[in-house]
Amino acid sequence: MPFEFKLPDLGEGIREAEILAVKIAEGQMIAEDAPLFEVETDKAVVEIPSPVAGKVIKIYVKAGQIVPVGTVMVSIEESSSKTASIPSTNSTESQTITKTTTYPPSPSGEKSKASFVGEVIATPATRQLARELKIDIHLVHGTGPSGKISKEDLLAYADQQNKFKATGMPESAASSKPAGEGNKDGSDYTLLDFEKFGPIERIPMRSVRRKTAQLMSLSWSKIPHVTHCDEANITELEKLRHKHGATMQEKGGRLTLTAFIVKAVTLALQKFPEFNSSFDENTEEIILKHYYNIGLAVATDRGLIVPVIRDTDKKSILELAIDINGIVDKTRSGKIELEDLQGGTFTVTNIGAIGGTSATPIINYPEAAILATMQAKEKPIVRNGKIEISLVMPLSLGFDHRLTDGAQAANFVQLIVKMLEEPSSLVPTL
């Protein structure tokens, strides 16, 4: 029996991926770990290697297609004849139907695959219905006690999948819905027929764009945002940066302003932990994070992507500069790994390169705040009764008003401003 390769679970909540490239051809002999496909998920471009060696019998997908997790992508006749015994992590994970079987333990101590984690809770009839509807029940969200999946949950999922298949878009993006039926978010609206007014074009929302839309809606609807604006005179900082720039370049780092900002933010977060937290609505608790992972909003051809610089409290500015350069390059070239996009605690977005005097950045849910740094410009500054020309950078902090208040935000931003204005305080951390 040929080995059927299914789109594996790609991690945190990713349910489908767009196929960017098919790297094999039917009839081709491939080695184990040879790249099969390049796919783009909501978060990253990943290359999927073959868990087996053998001959490609049939390819079921083509570039440009969006496929849900569990879709059979290719069948491979394995080189060795031991077809049934390849417990590669990918293959077992991805064999969606196989996973529904959890053999019960037997008195003789038969090895069981059952695991309490990820076990499906649904009645036998519901499990059967899932197979009939060709749904991997593991992907269905159960609304019952302890996550039990009801027939209704299954039908809702099937409905969503059908719309997805019909339009190539998830339900939220599919617009043609009869009036009065309500949209996914519970609102009740239909779009106008724009064609009445002139020619239009419909572009499917895909991968990054779609994920951004979902995340921003979630953040904006859940978090009461407040934006606090301030300015930092970075004249001294720029001098310092240029002074150290050359030595840094020798050491392999480009000493960007972002590295200083990330450091200043990290130091400020240590003083104001509520900006490094999350709000747990279920338990009504504030989760303070004792680790500092700063996300950087990076504009790419594919849209906005936020890679994460880890443990910024443990790194010098030079180390941060090296990390930032590396991860930004990786992000722009689409080579970023999924794990580099996870675990952020605070986000910095630097729109300064383009322009602007202030912004109202939307928090990267479920973080507590986001700092936007705008374009630094030379401005007249009055100091000690004299007008000086200084390099001034506006800052906009968006924060979750459930977690903290305006006064703390002002203090938090002031601390950052102070560090940027008196960079000597940052020098020890260079």
Partner 1 sequence: MVVGDMTEQTDLVVIGGGPGGYSAAVRAGQLGIKTILIDQEAVLGGVCLREGCIPSKALLHVAEVIGLSQQATAYGVNFAPPQIDLGKLRSWKGDMISKLSQGILSMCKSNKVDVITGQARFLNERTLHVNCEGENSRQIKFKRAIIATGSSIIKTPAFFKDPQDQNSKRILDSRSALQVPEVPGRLLVVGGGYIGLELGSVYAALGSEITVIEMTDGLLPGVDRDLVKPLANHLNNIFKNIFLNTKVLSIEDSGEGIVCSYQQVGQQETTKEKFDYALIAIGRKPNTDDLGLENTSIELDNTGFIKIDEFCCSTDKKIMAIGDVTGPPMLAHRAMRQGHVAAEVVAGMSSAFDNLAIPTVVYTEPEIAWCGWTEGEARAKGYSIEVAKMPWSASGRAMTLGEPNGLTKIIYDPKTMLVKGVGVAGVRAGGLIAEAMLAIEIGLVVEDLVRTIHPHPSLSETIGEAATAAMNRKARQQKEQSIA
**CA pair distance 70, 135, nearest whole angstrom:** 9
Q: How far is the CB of 113 from partner 1 (least distance, A)?
A: 10
242 catalytic, yes or no? no
User: Binding to partner 1 by residue 217, rule CB under 8 A?
Assistant: no
Q: How far is the CB of 365 from partner 1 (least distance, A)?
A: 26
**CA pair distance 398, 409, nearest whole angstrom:** 9
**CA pair distance 232, 379, nearest whole angstrom:** 11
Q: How far is the CB of 281 from partner 1 (least distance, A)?
A: 20
**CA pair distance 155, 163, nearest whole angstrom:** 12
User: Binding to partner 1 by residue 1, rule CB under 8 A?
Assistant: yes
Instruction: Using the rule CB under 8 A, give the single segment among 4-12, 124-132, 194-202, 421-429 that binds partner 1.
Output: 124-132
**Residue number with CB closer to partner 1 (95 or 266):** 95
Report, in angstroms and rounded to the nearest whole number, the Rg of the chain calculated over CA atoms: 26
Instruction: Using the rule CB under 8 A, give the single segment among 18-26, 35-43, 112-120, 246-254 that binds partner 1.
Output: 112-120
Instruction: Using the rule CB under 8 A, give the single segment among 138-146, 157-165, 206-214, 367-375 that binds partner 1.
Output: 138-146
Q: What is the DSSP string of 367-403?
A: SSEEEEE---EEEEEEETTEEEEEEEEEEEEEEETTT
User: Binding to partner 1 by residue 283, rule CB under 8 A?
Assistant: no
Q: How far is the CB of 104 from partner 1 (least distance, A)?
A: 4
User: Binding to partner 1 by residue 148, rule CB under 8 A?
Assistant: yes
CA 14 from chain centre, in angstroms, equals 10
DSSP 8-state class, residue 423: G
User: Binding to partner 1 by residue 114, rule CB under 8 A?
Assistant: yes
Structure tokens at 292: 């500092």
Q: Please pick, among 225, 228, 290, 401, the residue that the annotation labels catalytic.
A: 401
Q: How far is the CB of 4 from partner 1 (least distance, A)?
A: 12
Q: What is the DSSP string of 172-229?
A: GG-----TTS--TTS-------GGGTS--------HHHHHHHHHHHHHHHHS-EEEEE
Structure tokens at 370: 């986001």
**Residue number with CB closer to partner 1 (71 or 235):** 71
**Residue number with CB closer to partner 1 (97 or 415):** 97
**CA pair distance 266, 236, nearest whole angstrom:** 20
DSSP 8-state class, residue 149: B
Q: How far is the CB of 81 from partner 1 (least distance, A)?
A: 9
User: Binding to partner 1 by residue 2, rule CB under 8 A?
Assistant: no
Sign for the pseudo-dihedral over CA of 102, 103, 104, 105? negative
Helix (H) or strand (E) holding 421: helix 406-421
Site residues for partner 1, 82-111, by CB under 8 A, read: 83-84, 97-98, 100-102, 104-110
**Residue number with CB closer to partner 1 (75 or 207):** 75
User: Binding to partner 1 by residue 132, rule CB under 8 A?
Assistant: yes
Beta strands in 114-186 (DSSP E): none
The correct pick among 128, 162, 247, 424 for binding partner 1 (CB under 8 A) is: 128
**Secondary structure (3-state) at 122:** strand
* Size of the residue set binding partner 1 (CB under 8 A): 32
Instruction: Using the rule CB under 8 A, give the single segment among 119-127, 182-190, 333-341, 411-419 that binds partner 1.
Output: 119-127
User: Binding to partner 1 by residue 147, rule CB under 8 A?
Assistant: yes
**Residue for token pair 């196929």:** 19
Residues 6+ apart with CB under 8 A from 215: 364, 365
Instruction: Using the rule CB under 8 A, give the single segment among 18-26, 122-130, 161-169, 229-237 that binds partner 1.
Output: 122-130
Structure tokens at 150: 């009801």
Q: How far is the CB of 84 from partner 1 (least distance, A)?
A: 6
Tell me which residues touch partner 1 (CB under 8 A).
Answer: 1, 83-84, 97-98, 100-102, 104-110, 112, 114, 116, 121-124, 127-128, 131-132, 134, 144-148
Active-site positions?
Answer: 401
